[in-house]
Chain A
């Protein structure tokens, strides 16, 4: 996607590596994408494909020894990777927020819900009077659909669904532009998950949020995302609108991923399986990283790495099947 005035986040050629004893894990390589204002982008892939590492790096939170080895992350014209600690603290939570899979490990067991909120507000806006802050917190609780009396409770007194609602409330209390949600519903039961999805949709229009949803759950992205980026072994394989990804997937990996998920509304006699498993990221295969598992592999796939190329308007894929360059 070209950068336009609507682009709020522009990631170019991002690479992240983890040096370990036996070599360097190339967790993310050459990832480029953009996020428009108000857009919801789904980042889909299996465990170990680098999607969480990529998500963390957007806030310069990648865990040591991991480090960015190349690329840039432009947020409204500023490179996040070049920001100093002081600016980063202001960016995180105020401009870009993040929620994670397990809310219980993100909340402090010794603090009440109210304290979590007030601490967050005070950190970003030390001058705000307590009454004003409390009023904002109560309004947020209403938006989240949680009774006010719960503010005095501790994380262990809340149900899993409520904890995740509190997490998203904390993430949005400073009214950020972008919410990064990393597997936000994986720890939730299916009915609670559906309720959370509804809440997220509501918050999205209420706060005019842009969302990056990182997940392996194709059902969840189908419901939330406008566009989807498919990641495999540290690289982007395909980027397109949600409709295109599901109706006209180009990359054999995307095709395989969609075919192997049980769909409750379809009558599937057989699931189509992808044999093999993702490659070792210390010594990834030459050429396309999916080549060893690809049913449509060609000689060139094992030689040269395909670039992410736009093959139809707004629909890019990194695959030699569609030629070197678009016509």
Chain B
């Protein structure tokens, strides 16, 4: 999309999770399923941070997992440096794993309580057979200092229960980065952290991006955070991307009514900003039987009859700014 080389791209990605129904459903011709990701396409350029924003249940985490082939897509293609990841052999997948990593929301459930910090961060190097034990140790200590786990030799021997929340998230980041990946999916990495820790992790992620030339898919429900870190932002609603634009375009010229409501709903830490919000009705519907046409029409303040009929395509409304609304 931007001038940079494409690192990763998703084309027409679909993920349906079949529902385990009652015994009668087994005889019905149509199996019901959750349409978690519904024909999603985007690309991420090298060194770019793409934000994937949306409410819970919008399919943003599933999309992140699909990119890394942690789950198999129902259909669609993921390409890494121009090669189709879905057709990779197990051996090729293994080398991709070193290059494309993920960080999850809750650092405590991502770390084994029985592995010390050093062991946890060294583990990926052992799996991929990198270096001798002393080289590995050197590399891990070096990286620990870089992510702010200092003094590294002291923290190297600590266990997860001895760490603060901010330190645990740094360990998870270091573990993801130790194989020197070029792509990182960050799935709500700061959602559980305290405000002061959030700022530190965000700042660190930005620093690491510059130092290591990383590319991120940054999954978040918080647009204020996305604004701070991302170059481009895709807004998801019920499994579909409804708008995708550069950060500046999205915040200054949001198009899709859903993006606009999302922006209006973000609480602003400034009492002078108290304002009248035009909020959409109700809550995000179920992805089992999503509304027809534009998924957002039952809640949309601007909905017209046509919105119910067909899915609005994602159309380019200005250079690099795409929106899926028939009113555009």
Contacts and interface: CB of A to CB of B under 8 A. Distances in A.
B304 interface: no
A277 B166 contact: yes
Given A189-B221, A195-B279, A265-B273, A260 B267 contact: no
Interface string B207-236: 000000000000001111101100000000
A191 B266 CA distance: 8
A46 interface: yes
Nearest to A225: B271
Contacts of A162: 283
Contact of A190 (B196, B222, B273): B222
B55 A189 contact: yes
Contact of B279 (A198, A242, A256, A266): A198
B268 A270 contact: no
A190 B191 CA distance: 13
A161 B285 CA distance: 12
B264 A268 contact: no
A36 interface: no
A13 B282 CA distance: 44
A25 B195 CA distance: 23
A218 B195 contact: yes
B228 A268 contact: yes
B87 interface: no
B262 interface: yes
A273 B222 contact: no
B159 interface: no
A47 B199 contact: no
Nearest to A259: B199
A263 B199 CA distance: 12
Interface in B268-294: 268-274, 277, 279-280, 283-284
B164 interface: yes
A260 B195 contact: yes
Interface of B is mostly: helix
Interface residues of B, number: 41
A216 B198 CA distance: 12
A195 B264 CA distance: 11
Nearest to B196: A274
B196 A198 contact: no
A264 B271 contact: no
B233 to A, nearest CB: 12
A197 B276 CA distance: 12
Contact of B55 (A191, A246, A274): A191
Contacts of B198: 260-262
B284 A189 contact: yes
A1 interface: no
A266 B199 CA distance: 15
Interface string A181-192: 000000001111
Interface string B16-28: 0000000000000
Given A216-B194, A222-B271, A264-B268, A192 B283 contact: yes
A301 B225 CA distance: 34
B269 A260 contact: no
A271 interface: yes
Name the residue in A160, A161, A193, A271 with the highest tally of chain B Cβ atoms < 10 Å from its Cβ.
Answer: A271
A192 B195 CA distance: 21
Contact of A222 (B55, B221, B270): B270
Contacts of B268: 219, 222-223, 263-265
A243 to B, nearest CB: 6
A282 interface: no
A78 interface: no
B269 A161 contact: no
Contact of A264 (B56, B196, B227, B274): B227
A101 interface: no
B164 A277 contact: yes
A258 B195 CA distance: 9
Contacts of B227: 262, 264
Contacts of A298: none
Name the residue in A242, A260, A264, A270 with the highest tally of chain B Cβ atoms < 10 Å from its Cβ.
Answer: A264
B283 A261 contact: no
Given A46-B195, A242-B271, A246-B270, A194 B225 contact: no
Nearest to A276: B196
Contact of B224 (A47, A223, A263): A263
B251 A264 contact: yes
A159 interface: yes
B193 to A, nearest CB: 9
B269 A256 contact: no
B265 A256 contact: no
Contacts of B264: 194
Contacts of B261: 191
A262 B273 CA distance: 14
B200 A223 contact: no
Nearest to A261: B269
A217 interface: yes
Contacts of B110: none
A194 to B, nearest CB: 4
A220 B195 CA distance: 13
Given A191-B261, A277-B164, A277-B166, 20 more contacts: A47-B194, A162-B283, A190-B223, A191-B55, A192-B283, A219-B268, A220-B267, A223-B271, A246-B270, A257-B196, A260-B198, A261-B195, A261-B199, A262-B228, A263-B269, A264-B227, A264-B263, A265-B268, A270-B203, A273-B203
Interface of A: 46-47, 159-162, 189-195, 197-198, 216-220, 222-223, 242-243, 246, 256-258, 260-266, 268, 270-275, 277
7 contacts: A191-B261, A246-B271, A260-B199, A261-B198, A261-B224, A264-B227, A273-B196
Interface of B: 55-56, 164-166, 194-200, 202-203, 221-225, 227-228, 251, 261-274, 277, 279-280, 283-284
